[in-house]
Amino acid sequence: MAYLNENYLNVKESYLFSEIAKRVSSFTEANPDKKVIRMGIGDVTLPLEPLVIEALHRAVDEMGNAATFRGYGPEQGYAFLREAIQQYYSRGGVSLDMDEIFVSDGAKSDLGNITDLFSIENVALIPDPVYPVYVDTNIMSGRKIVYMNANAENGFLPMPDDRVHGDMIYLCSPNNPTGAVYNKQQLKAWVDYANAHEAIILFDAAYESFIGDDSLPRSIFQIEGAKTCAIEFCSLSKTAGFTGTRCGYTVVPKQLKKKTCDGKELYMNKMWNRRQTTKFNGVPYIIQKGAAAVFSVEGMKQAHEMIAYYKQNAKIIADALSEKGIKFFGGVHSPYIWMECPKGMLSWDFFDYLLSKAAVVGTPGAGFGVNGEGFFRLTSFGNRENTMEAMERIKKLL
Amino acid sequence: MAYLNENYLNVKESYLFSEIAKRVSSFTEANPDKKVIRMGIGDVTLPLEPLVIEALHRAVDEMGNAATFRGYGPEQGYAFLREAIQQYYSRGGVSLDMDEIFVSDGAKSDLGNITDLFSIENVALIPDPVYPVYVDTNIMSGRKIVYMNANAENGFLPMPDDRVHGDMIYLCSPNNPTGAVYNKQQLKAWVDYANAHEAIILFDAAYESFIGDDSLPRSIFQIEGAKTCAIEFCSLSKTAGFTGTRCGYTVVPKQLKKKTCDGKELYMNKMWNRRQTTKFNGVPYIIQKGAAAVFSVEGMKQAHEMIAYYKQNAKIIADALSEKGIKFFGGVHSPYIWMECPKGMLSWDFFDYLLSKAAVVGTPGAGFGVNGEGFFRLTSFGNRENTMEAMERIKKLL
């Protein structure tokens, strides 16, 4: 008799975005004449940059010609893309071996699949509020989760606490949903903590390209000691609008080694390589060619134009909130604005208020965890006109 | 302290294709003038069909335009592709709901990731010889494996045996590496066995499009009772040359339910949906557009022209072996020819003999399991001229 994984009984249904969709749809039915502006979901709206489009077309042509056709590629990614990523890190002062870089179909997949490499005995230390994938994937494999409080007092940047035990530490900076960014001293404290406790930091850097201040770390590997305690997950989703094009990369340092419960040592780079070659067949050649274009000098320039556009939206949101004296986090080195709900409203109440009175949709903070209550996430990924109109409506309302 | 998954200590290094590469490279260094013909790896060589190329170009253009740009898509695949797959099944007499179909980046990923849904208490029942992924992914999660003998006596098609207990039953038909194909009566026996024992059949149908006889099952869901005991894994890799383009699909029937160890019932379709929405972000929009083109009437016609080309290669191989009186399996409804090594040679000895005397590369059967010893796999995925020349050389040699 085949038995199923009982941990799936403990995974909660993900109601957040379906509940939002339901309430928005009731509103539009009742108010067909109102123009609803959506600032809830973290999905990009600008098209792929011209250089990527050109590279994709060229790669499609190659696939249609026997002489240039590509069959199975290396599961870890083609050398041309891994080299381009290696050079990108190098420009940021981080030296990586090419085989420390694994190309993937996105950070979400790798953040989920990395749990394969760990014993179920570990405790996952996860901030609250949080991107739900860290929580759900650990519940699915039956691991204990300990939450760390991220709140207004610590600027939504929880720091290590020797009284709290964690083996797999999830950090996301710039943070989703709060937009908060760790500085180098703060990340160094985490790296030191992880090394001292032989813990692993799973560092989600999906929003690194929004950092506009060179003194802030874009990669955990800019911190001394990180190569013995950290794995980094990156993505082109927000850097170059690849949410529907799907390409990311994960860095697993070769010196990163840990023990099994019975004391045998394993290198995590080798384990991840074995996992990926066994359970993954690599990213489409066409998509890898598009991704490589992003990392060229001109490609990165075009990507930064898109990022600047979204950051200008973020500034419009931030300025409007400042004007109304509303406290918020993020919005500078991040596409997310994490605002306090006005007048002490609960986050779902503010959601309903904003939707009914201003026809603007955001994400209630409570959907990201207990500490999200009383907060509200707005995203800057919309178009300029809608963003401006939404903020005018909000200013008038509040 | 973070502990690692100790099961990775038990995963053997995959030496087969690296050992082949090493021996071929020594040979070519010593014999730079000899033209080596490779019939070892199961990778396609014909370019993507024209209709797919057109669809890919159109989709790339859509991604470069704000009005038609696509961000995050449904993790399960776009409706246009799931509907096309639904209609493909319907033409084969199998009725599926659209949400029983999950689009993925390939059968290998899904065959690996599906193990997430099962308790580690299950026994995996796996044929020998076999595609190594079934074995390695179960070792990685710590499951017990029981092998079933596939051999010349049973035509490399092992049948259920009440004395052998298995909970997760791996079947691949047309088979890799042997090319053997189950008929409907045989598959019905497996379905009845699985239903009687509440086991699950994980059915790898990656080579279904090579079946040229309508009386043979292309899908396990052509067999009565399969929807309560089977999950099917398919791929466009061999159907339409997508090995480097990456698109597959998995069918999880909605009525398929099993219990956890403590007796709670779960529906596997719902579990897989939760797994995929949590750990996967879907296949690139561009690639899904290319895949949908394959399922159109004209697209399937173009795909079948490719398949016919490879099958003609298979016939050339089969005819040459027949002429020499060498016994083989497969090669009719499969791109693989599974030949007995002549004169009772061991499979690596025959590999060396064929390489040194004829400069032809195949895959030693021993690399696929104990029962592969004494056999040798040739693939028909090369080009016509090379296939003909290789067989002339082999005929002359033997």
Average pLDDT over residues B320-346: 97
Q: What pLDDT was estimated at residue A345?
A: 97
pLDDT of residue B14: 77
pLDDT on residue B135 = 96
CB spacing of A259 vs B3 below 8 angstroms: yes
- How many Cα neighbours within 13 Å face the side chain of B37? 22
Please say whether the beta carbons of B384 and B312 come within 8 A.
yes
**What are the residue ranges in chain A where pLDDT is below 50?**
none
Give chain A's domains with CATH numbers: 7-47+299-397 (3.90.1150.10), 64-296 (3.40.640.10)
Show which of residues 182-221 on chain B sit within 8 Å of chain A, judged by CB atoms: 197-200
pLDDT at site A42: 85
- Sign of the four-CA dihedral A50, A52, A56, A58: positive
Q: B168 in contact with A at a CB cutoff of 8 Å?
A: yes
| Alpha carbons A38 and A231: distance in angstroms, whole number | 34
Q: Hey, are the CB atoms on A3 and B261 less than 8 Å from each other?
A: yes
Measure the CA angle with vertex A341, ends A339 and A347; round to 5°. 105
| Cα–Cα distance measured from residue A96 to residue B227, given in angstroms and rounded to the nearest whole number | 48
What tokens were used for A205? 């850097």
Confidence of residue B185 (pLDDT cuts 50, 70, 90): very high
Residue A119, chain B, CB below 8 Å: the answer is yes
Question: Would you say B224 and B187 are in contact if contact means Cβ atoms under 8 Å apart?
Answer: no
The pLDDT value recorded for residue A15 is 76
- Which residue in this structure is represented by tokens 């020349």? B389
Question: CA A275, CA A132: separation in Å to the nearest integer?
Answer: 23
Cα A52 to Cα A48, A202, A233, B160, distances in angstroms: 6, 29, 22, 52
Tokens for A236? 């082109």
Put the strands of the sheet holding B3-4 in their side by side order. A265-267, A257-260, B3-4
Residue A169: closest CA among chain B residues belongs to which residue?
B2
Residue A45 DSSP code:
-
Order of strands across the sheet that contains B230-235: B101-104, B248-251, B230-235, B200-204, B168-172, B123-128, B144-149
* ipTM of predicted complex: 0.97
Within 8 A of B305 by CB-CB distance, chain A residues are none
Distance CA B248, CA B244 (A): 12
The answer to the question of whether B207 is labelled as a binding residue is: yes
Check B167 against A2: CB less than 8 A apart. Answer: yes
Structural contact between residues B39 and A21, judged by C-beta atoms closer than 8 angstroms? no
Report the DSSP beta bridge partners of residue B232.
Answer: B203, B251
The pLDDT score that the predictor gives to residue B275 is: 97
Please compute, for residue B242, the number of CA atoms within 13 A of its CA located in the half-sphere on the CB side. Answer: 32
Percent helix, strand and coil across chain B, each rounded to 5? Answer: 45, 15, 40
Pick from A17, A281, A306 the residue to mutate for testing the B interface (most B CBs within 10 Å). A281
Using CB atoms, pick whichever of B64, B71, B113 lies closest to residue A279: B113
Percentage above 90 pLDDT, chain B: 96
Residue contact B137–A279, C-beta within 8 A:
yes
Using DSSP's 3-state secondary structure scheme, residue B249 falls into strand
Predicted pLDDT of residue A223: 98
How deeply is B185 buried, as exposed, middle or buried, from its count of CB atoms within 10 A (0-12, 13-18, 19+)?
Answer: exposed
What pLDDT is attached to residue A17? Answer: 84
The pair of three-digit structure tokens given for residue A284, joined into one six-digit string: 């489409």
Residue B197: per-residue pLDDT: 96
List, for residues B37-80, the tens digit of each pLDDT value. Answer: 999 888 999 999 999 999 999 999 999 999 999 999 999 999 99
Check A284 against B8: CB less than 8 A apart. Answer: no
Q: How far apart are CA B114 and CA B108, in angstroms?
A: 10
Query: Is B334 assigned to a binding site?
Result: no
Under an 8 A CB cutoff, do A282 and B63 touch? no
Q: B99-154 pLDDT, tens per residue?
A: 999 999 999 999 999 999 999 999 999 999 999 999 999 999 999 999 999 999 99
- Mean pLDDT of the residues in chain B: 96
Chain-centroid distance of CA B322 in Å reads 26
Alpha-carbon torsion, ordered A81, A84, A88, A89, to 10 deg: 70
Residues of B in Cβ contact (< 8 Å) with A281: 105-106, 108-109, 243, 246
